[in-house]
């Protein structure tokens, strides 16, 4: 994302380890005022969060936004369900994916784009344990190649 005005707030690194990412979508998110202030401070956790399509709308579950310190009575429940904003065409496409066996919707990151809070939503398929071992071995091999290449350049 080389666009101007993008500041990544939180990433779900575990999602890339646990799932094969098929497609990604950018979605807006409906937040209360104090939640926006808390997000701007970086108090967001995407671990164990997921999205569900219900009645033609997409909702995000288990995304933790810590209460804003100066928010007093205006603070909301940190784990409340939040609505995601997508085009009808995108929602229909996501519905088709999710109806297939093994696919789910997982948020990859939360970021600010031109002042708006956005969520990168991914259509993901779960990895088996042997797939995870394969990707770890591949990553380690790549790291070894890069290390050897750097040492070679120093000589």
Q: Which pLDDT value is given to residue 71? A: 64
Q: Which pLDDT value is given to residue 74? A: 64
Quote the CA–CA distance of 11 and 14 in Å, as a whole number: 9
Q: Which pLDDT value is given to residue 59? A: 93
For residue 137, give every residue at least 6 positions away whose Cβ sits within 8 Å of its Cβ, in sequence order, or none: none
Q: Which pLDDT value is given to residue 4? A: 67
Cβ neighbourhood burial of 85 (10 Å; 0-12, 13-18, 19+) = middle
For residue 47, give every residue at least 6 positions away whose Cβ sits within 8 Å of its Cβ, in sequence order, or none: 12, 14, 64
Q: Which pLDDT value is given to residue 65? A: 84
Instruction: Characterise 30 by phi-psi region: left (phi > 0), alpha (psi -120 to 50), beta (else).
Output: beta
Bridge-partner residues for 58, per DSSP? 53, 84
The ranges of the chain with pLDDT < 70 are 1-4, 71-77
For residue 78, give every residue at least 6 positions away whose Cβ sits within 8 Å of its Cβ, in sequence order, or none: 64, 65, 66, 67
Q: Which pLDDT value is given to residue 2? A: 53
Q: Which pLDDT value is given to residue 25? A: 92
Q: Which pLDDT value is given to residue 22? A: 87
Whole-model pTM: value is 0.74
Residues present in the chain in total:
155
Domains and CATH numbers, the chain: 6-126 (2.40.280.10)
Q: Which pLDDT value is given to residue 1? A: 46
Q: Which pLDDT value is given to residue 120? A: 92
């Amino acid at each position: 994302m080389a666009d101007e005005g993008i500041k990544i707030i939180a990433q779900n690194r575990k999602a890339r380890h646990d799932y094969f990412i098929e497609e990604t979508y950018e979605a807006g998110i409906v937040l209360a005022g104090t939640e926006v202030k808390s997000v701007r401070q970086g108090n967001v956790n995407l671990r164990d969060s997921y999205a569900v399509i219900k009645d033609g709308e997409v909702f995000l579950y288990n995304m933790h936004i810590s209460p804003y310190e100066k928010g007093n009575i205006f603070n909301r429940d940190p784990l409340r369900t939040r609505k995601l904003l997508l085009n009808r065409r995108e929602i229909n496409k996501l519905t088709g994916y999710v109806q297939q066996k093994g696919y789910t919707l997982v948020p990859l990151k939360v970021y600010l784009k031109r002042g708006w809070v956005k969520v990168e939503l991914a259509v993901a398929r779960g990895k088996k344990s042997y797939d995870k071992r394969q990707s770890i071995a591949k990553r380690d091999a790549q790291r070894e190649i890069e290390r050897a290449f750097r040492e070679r350049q120093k000589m």
